[in-house]
Structures are given as C-alpha cells and as structure tokens.
Amino acid sequence: MHEMSLCESVVGLVEEEARKGGFSKVRTVVLELGALGHVEPEAMLFCFEAVGRGTIVEGARLDIVRVPGAGWCLDCGKTVPLTERFGACPDCGRHRVQMTAGDELRLKELEVE
C-alpha cells in the first residue's frame, strides 16, 4: 500500500512547515489529490491516522480535495476534461491528449492552533 509512504511524506512536509511557522499543533491538513492518480482517498485517511500517531498531526483531520483530471488535446488545441489517464478527447475522440491535471498530491492548506 503506497498510501502509507505518501502519508509519511505528507507528515514530513507538515513537520517542516511547523518548524518554519513555529506552530506545534495542527487542526486540519488539506491535501489536494488528483482524480487520475492511483491513490485511494479512503486509504489515505486510514494511513494518515496510523502514520500520524505520535507526530505533530496526531488528532488532526485530513481533508482531501479531489482535483478533476484535465488534458491538452493536440488536435483540438484546447484543454478538455479527462476521466482516465490515457483517455480519449471527449470532443474529437482521439487519443492525442496530454494530461495537465489530475495527478497531484499537494499540501494545500494547514489549519493550526
């Protein structure tokens, strides 16, 4: 389950922010998660709690914001929505679409005390 190591890096990022920002208690962690990445939100929630025990995020809420997939269609010359990683363009039906969004795993916001 790679969500475990992803959560470890998230906790690492929060600890880094805490050092810089001088806070020691986190209430909410807001994480952006791309819809096309291979990360299960439920697994992230579970791992976050497990990995967070005894760290700065213990007891904090993990708030996952899903980022919808999008890509740039070379044939249409515009951004189109993507529902799968190598999906076809919904307008022209071709597969010359480069993914531009949907793969993110980003620490978006921290609510601290």
Binding-site residue set = 2, 73, 76, 89, 92
Work out which of 44, 73, 82, 110 binds Zn ion, going by CB under 5 A. Answer: 73
Residue with tokens 């025990």, as numbered in its chain: 53
**Among candidate residues 10, 13, 18, 15, the one with its CA nearest the CA of residue 48:** 10
CB atoms closer than 10 angstroms to residue 44: 21
Work out which of 16, 91, 109, 111 binds Zn ion, going by CB under 5 A. Answer: 91
Task: Verify binding: residue 43, Zn ion, rule CB under 5 A.
Answer: no
Q: What is the nearest approach in angstroms of Zn ion to the Cβ of residue 77? A: 8
Shortest Cβ contact with Zn ion: which residue?
Answer: 89
Q: What is the nearest approach in angstroms of Zn ion to the Cβ of residue 67? A: 21
Q: Quick one: DSSP state of residue 107?
A: E
Which whole-number Å values give the CA distances from 113 to 25, 26, 106, in the listed order? 5, 6, 21
Task: Verify binding: residue 82, Zn ion, rule CB under 5 A.
Answer: no
**Residue 24 and residue 113: Cα distance in Å, rounded?**
8
Binding site listing for Zn(2+): 73, 76, 89, 92
Stretch that binds Zn ion, among 13-21, 24-32, 37-45, 75-83 (CB under 5 A): 75-83
Q: Are 107 and 14 in contact (CB under 8 A)?
A: yes
Footprint on this chain of Zn ion (rule: CB under 5 A): 73, 75-76, 89, 91-92
